[in-house]
Amino acid sequence: MGGQRPIILGYLLLLAKAEGSTPAEAAKALGISRQGLYKALRKLRALGYVEQGSYIRLSESGRNALKEALRDLMGYFGMTAIRLEGYVARGLGEGAYYVSLEGYKRQIEEKLGFAPYPGTLNVVLTPDSLIYRRYLEALPGIVISGFSDGVRTYGSVKAFRCKMRGVDCALLVIERTHHGPEVVEIIAPVKLRDALGLKDGDPISVEVQLL
């Protein structure tokens, strides 16, 4: 983006608010002239930040540019990690199945750097931590893409690197889940219950890396 980076990011932020709209609808909603918007769209499409078509949609490159800017801002303001508090709870037994699926397992190894133990640790968050957990839903995280095995389609999962009592692991924000928002699932290269000597009801804290 070079020296035009602030201008381009400004337009990307505006267009992100109008995704799914036509350019005419977006210009009206954003309070800018159609001529100005069409000019910006031509430039951003030429750079690959906005997809071609009748409706405004940021491309993957455009979303990545915004994610990079967000990381810069969070780093500047020292918002690099949060601590979530909760207690260990028994799960539904689904974690082992999903983590073992090749479509997820391969991406976890590539993107998080470890082969996951076939299972998840369920943590029920305290009311104070539940507020911060909602922030994770709005942050980019590390996306484990959804896939289809020809019979069934599996949704995408967002992951954040974290630590629990010194053990490297990852917190999952799952697109499709039977749990309520107060429950988070943790994966690790080891069985966390055994490695940390945990049982149902034990209090636990999770240091989550936001960047």
Domains, the chain: 2-76 (1.10.10.10), 81-209 (2.40.30.30)
Are 181 and 86 in contact by the 8 Å Cβ rule? The answer is no
- Predicted confidence (pLDDT) per residue in 130-169, tens digit: 888 878 888 889 999 998 888 888 888 999 999 999 999 9
How high does pLDDT run on average in the chain? 89
H and E: helices and strands count for the chain: 8, 9
Top-ranked range on mean pLDDT: pick from 6-10, 38-42, 77-81, 176-180: 38-42
pLDDT score at 194:
96
Rounded CA separation 87/139 (Å) = 24
Give the chain's radius of gyration (CA, Å). Answer: 20
Enumerate residues 6+ apart whose C-beta is below 8 A from 120: 91, 95, 96, 99, 172, 185, 186, 187
* 110-149: b (≥16 Cβ within 10 Å) or e: eebeeebbebbbbbbbbeebbeebeebeebbbeebeebee
Rounded CA separation 108/142 (Å) = 10
pLDDT of 18 higher than 70: yes
Enumerate residues 6+ apart whose C-beta is below 8 A from 54: 22
pTM of the model: 0.75
**For residues 95 and 155, which has the higher predicted lDDT (pLDDT)?**
155
**pLDDT-based confidence at 33, cuts 50/70/90?**
very high
Q: Give residue for tokens 């240091």.
A: 207
pLDDT of 1 higher than 60: no
pLDDT score at 11:
87
HSE-CB for 126 with a 13 A CA cutoff: 12
